[in-house]
Amino acid sequence: MVAAKKTEETHESINNRLALVMKSGKYTLGYKTVLKSLRSSKGKLIIIANNCPPLRKSEIEYYAMLCIVGVHHYNGKLQKQLEAAGTFPPSFLHSFLCRLGLGVICFSKSLKSYIPRIQICIE
Amino acid sequence: MVKFLKSNKAVIVLQGRYAGRKAVIVRSFDDGTRDRPYGHCLVAGIKKYPSKVIRKDSAKKTAKKSRVKCFVKLVNYQHLMPTRYTLDVDLKDVVTVDALQTKDKKVAACKATKERFEERFKTGKNRESESFWIRITRLHAREVSLAFLL
């Protein structure tokens, strides 16, 4: 029970931050744009959803390793992630404010959504 | 946050005639050029890998088996799989965009890279990049390259 609660809590915080970034940060959604932003070293954080196919997940992790970018494994599927971020359903989401230093986490985010899987790259 | 598509990086070509082949980035154009408005790079790669040499091969046979055939190409970043390996071969003077203009120049560039590759292969200094000379058995280039890298 306690363990479950703990994950709940951390989920909450990630979701909150996600929502924040979605509202006022820079992000891109989807596999292709994630790789693009990694190659141009613009990404700062990548969020990969649960139901991302393992090969693709490994590939993104490898790229992230090469450019020393953090990867966060979100414990849930795309829709959930986007719901958390307060947008549903998404087709394409772009917000172009550059957000830094909220006292919480510095993101300028790139989120990538690819229904039904999400990899979010946070710039 | 670190740029990793730089010169001397070993990459694997994913698409085209040379899919599955390993190559080295000679020069990268991150922002593209007018002709190619996308990130791309000039790579020199292995067209034909050196074969396996066994103990009982004669010197003549060894020489023949250790030949490397090269290609020089401008490739879109999207069609490359970067690796964490580098190959220190000095190709900057030999392989230029200019060399791709005419067939003669291209052949000359390929011959020059062939020499340098073969020399590197034979001296075999760098332990890590020894795997550069090993052919990936071709399935789907992306999958296999990933399995290979990990």
**Taking 80 as the threshold, does the pLDDT of residue A99 lie above it?**
no
For the residues of A54-99, what is the DSSP string, one character each? Answer: HHHHHHHHHHHHHTT-EEEE-SS-HHHHHHHTT--S-S----B---
Cα of A48 to nearest chain B Cα, Å: 17
- Could B150 and A62 be called an inter-chain contact, meaning their C-beta atoms sit closer than 8 Å? yes
Residues of A in contact with B1 (CB under 8 A): 41, 43-44, 67-69
For the entire predicted model, the pTM comes to: 0.76
Q: Do A67 and B3 touch (CB under 8 A)?
A: yes
Residues whose CB is less than 8 angstroms from the CB of residue B39 and which lie 6 or more positions away in sequence, other chains included: A39, A40, B5, B28, B29, B30, B31, B32, B76, B77
- In sequence order, the β-bridge partners of residue B71 are B45
Better-scored residue on pLDDT, A53 or A23: A53
pLDDT computed for residue A74 by the predictor: 67
Say if A91 is an interface residue toward chain B (CB within 8 Å): no
Query: Measured between CB atoms, which of A39, A58, A69 is closest to B1?
Result: A69
* pLDDT, tens digit (0-9, with 9 covering 90-100), for B1-22: 678 899 999 999 999 999 989 9
pLDDT digits (tens, 9 = 90+) for B62-113: 999 989 999 999 999 999 999 888 888 888 888 888 889 899 999 999 999 9
Q: How far apart are CA A118 and CA B10, in angstroms?
A: 29
Q: A62 in contact with B at a CB cutoff of 8 Å? A: yes
Q: Which domains does chain A have, with CATH numbers?
A: 25-107 (3.30.1330.30)
* Per-residue model confidence (pLDDT) at position A81: 54
Contact (CB<8Å) B39/A58: no
A35 vs B contacts (CB less than 8 Å): 78
Residues contacting B120, CB < 8 A, separation 6+? B87, B89
Which residues on B lie below 8 Å from A67 (Cβ)?
1-4
Q: Which residues of A touch B149 (CB under 8 A)?
A: 62
Q: What confidence score (pLDDT) does residue A102 get?
A: 28
pLDDT band at A105 (very low <50, low <70, confident <90, very high): very low
Please write the tens of the pLDDT for every residue from B36-66: 999 999 999 999 999 888 989 899 999 999 8
| Partners of residue A68 in chain B, C-beta under 8 Å | 1-2
User: Regarding predicted confidence, which is higher, A34 or B114?
Assistant: B114
Residue B25: per-residue pLDDT: 94
Q: Which domains does chain B have, with CATH numbers?
A: 9-147 (2.30.30.770)
Distance CA A44, CA B114 (A): 39
Evaluate whether A78 touches A51 at the Cβ level (below 8 Å): yes
pLDDT computed for residue A77 by the predictor:
57
**Comparing A48-62, A77-91, A96-110, B2-16, which segment has the lowest mean pLDDT?**
A96-110
Q: What is the pLDDT of residue A1?
A: 47
